[in-house]
């Protein structure tokens, strides 16, 4: 099928984009970033925006830089930018590890980090990273700037706190200290498919004991989140099967998995147990 008719806008500056969004946001206008989620839904007429505000011509939005201890990712930075570490240290390596699981190369070449966050698919790897690391989302509009912490940003399936007239201009990720360890594990049916369950774990070591653990799970509930019960099961414990099984069990118990015709809640819960345990093993290997 072909998309329904729409009016195309190609602003050349952020101010111009915000002015256009202020005008058309409430009349079914939306941002076009990489188009890798929006265009297929338009082709199936699941989305019929009346206006598309294409941000790809705005050079300022392609910035990827470190400022004040944070990696600042502009709205036009593509997934593929992260295939090689973009910063020294664990954060660059973590992003390079995770990006391999997003779709296929042609999609990674066009799709954007911020587009994934704005789209908020429950199985988005970048949404999991944002939730795990405590990202900040920078939303701009003609009314000004809002910086929204990840824990407040995701509302439900594919729904965020962004208003229709706001542009997600940048996402900021805190740099990780050199001694941060991380482990990621995703289960999907085929390489490149969306995750059915995935876990991202970070921690540090205080002597032989785990400190400051972060255990986050995605692809399971309406949006990814940290699982405090799993983190509590790890804090101050020696890495190893006993602590990992306890944390994995705590995570599996804490989630309320989505289910559909193909995947039951029980199956997803069992996968949570597996992906959390494997992510922990990878973090501490
Ligand atoms: C076959 C296939 C497999 C895929 N597999 C995966 C996968 O495994 N994991 C995964 O995470 N993704 C996957 N994707 C989705 C892909 O990662 C998209 O690139 C991503 O979800 C959206 O980014 P985009 O830049 O393409 O956004 P677009 O498609 O342009 O936009 C998506 C939505 O977000 C809004 N939006 C985009 N940018 C902004 C912004 N800066 N401010 C405000 N609103 C904005 C748009 O208005 C639209 O509603 C897959 C896609 C395809 C086609």
**Is 103 near ligand 1, meaning CB less than 6 Å away?**
yes
**Is 32 near ligand 1, meaning CB less than 6 Å away?**
yes
**Is 75 near ligand 1, meaning CB less than 6 Å away?**
yes
Q: What is the pLDDT of residue 168?
A: 98
Residue in 113, 138, 124 with CA at minimum distance from that of residue 223: 124
Reduce the DSSP state of residue 70 to 3 states and report it.
strand
Residue in 112, 109, 95 with CA at minimum distance from that of residue 38: 112
User: Residue 216 — φ and ψ, nearest 5°?
Assistant: -125, 145
Kindly compute the dihedral angle of the four CA atoms of residues 183, 189, 195, 201, in this order, to the nearest 10 degrees.
-10
Q: How far apart are the CA of 228 and the centre of ligand 1, in A?
A: 29
**Is 40 near ligand 1, meaning CB less than 6 Å away?**
yes
Nearest alpha carbon, ligand 1 atom 34: 119
Q: Give the span between the Cα atoms of 195 and 115, in whole angstroms.
A: 18
Residues 6+ apart with CB under 8 A from 105: 80
Nearest alpha carbon, ligand 1 atom 21: 116
Secondary element (H or E) of residue 152: helix 150-153
Pairing of strands 7-9, 154-156: unpaired
Q: How far apart are the CA of 110 and the centre of ligand 1, in A?
A: 9
Q: What is the pLDDT of residue 25?
A: 87
Report the nearest atom of ligand 1 relative to the CA of 168. 42
Q: What is the pLDDT of residue 1?
A: 75
Pairing of strands 29-32, 136-141: unpaired
The C-alpha angle 212, 214, 219, rounded to 5 degrees, equals 180
Q: What is the pLDDT of residue 285?
A: 87
Specify the length of the chain in residues. 285
Assess contact for 84 and 96: CB atoms under 8 A: yes
Q: What is the pLDDT of residue 35?
A: 98
**Is 51 near ligand 1, meaning CB less than 6 Å away?**
no
Q: What is the pLDDT of residue 26?
A: 84
Which DSSP letter does residue 78 get? B
**Is 212 near ligand 1, meaning CB less than 6 Å away?**
no
**Is 132 near ligand 1, meaning CB less than 6 Å away?**
no
Q: Give the span between the Cα atoms of 189 and 274, in whole angstroms.
A: 15
**Is 194 near ligand 1, meaning CB less than 6 Å away?**
yes
Q: What is the pLDDT of residue 270?
A: 98
Cα–chain center distance at 58? 22
CA distances from 168 to 41, 161, 163 (A): 20, 11, 10
Q: Mean pLDDT of successive 10-residue segments in the chain (285 residues)?
A: 93 98 92 97 95 98 98 98 98 98 97 98 98 98 98 97 97 98 96 95 97 98 98 97 98 97 96 98 94
Report the nearest atom of ligand 1 relative to the CA of 32. 30
Secondary element (H or E) of residue 246: helix 241-254
**Is 111 near ligand 1, meaning CB less than 6 Å away?**
yes
Q: How far apart are the CA of 269 and the centre of ligand 1, in A?
A: 26
Nearest alpha carbon, ligand 1 atom 9: 102
Q: What is the pLDDT of residue 170?
A: 98
Nearest alpha carbon, ligand 1 atom 11: 124
């Amino acid at each position: 099928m072909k998309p329904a008719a729409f009016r195309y806008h190609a602003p050349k500056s952020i101010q111009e984009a915000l002015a256009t969004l202020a005008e058309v946001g409430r009349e079914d206008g939306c941002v076009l970033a990489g188009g890798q989620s929006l265009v297929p839904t338009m082709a199936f007429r699941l989305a019929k925006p009346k206006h598309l505000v294409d941000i790809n011509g705005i050079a300022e939005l392609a910035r990827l830089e470190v400022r004040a201890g944070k990696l600042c990712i502009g709205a036009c930075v593509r997934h593929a930018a992260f295939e090689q570490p973009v910063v020294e240290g664990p954060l660059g390596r973590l992003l390079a590890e995770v990006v391999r699981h997003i779709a296929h190369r042609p999609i990674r070449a066009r799709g954007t980090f911020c587009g994934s966050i704005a789209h908020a698919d429950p199985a988005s790897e970048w949404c999991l990273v944002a939730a795990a690391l405590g990202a900040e989302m920078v939303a701009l509009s003609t009314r000004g700037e809002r910086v929204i912490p990840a824990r407040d940003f995701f509302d439900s399936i594919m729904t965020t706190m962004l208003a229709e007239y706001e542009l997600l201009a940048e996402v900021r990720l805190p740099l990780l200290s050199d001694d941060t360890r991380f482990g990621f594990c995703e289960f999907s049916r085929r390489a490149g498919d969306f995750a059915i369950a995935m876990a991202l774990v970070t921690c540090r070591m205080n002597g032989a004991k785990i400190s400051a653990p972060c255990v986050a799970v995605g692809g399971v509930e309406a949006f990814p989140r940290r699982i405090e019960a799993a983190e509590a099961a790890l804090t101050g414990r020696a890495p190893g099967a006993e602590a990992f099984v306890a944390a994995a069990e705590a995570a599996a118990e804490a989630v309320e998995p989505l289910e559909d015709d193909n995947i039951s809640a029980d199956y997803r819960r069992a996968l949570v147990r597996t992906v959390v345990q494997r992510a922990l093993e990878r973090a501490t290997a």
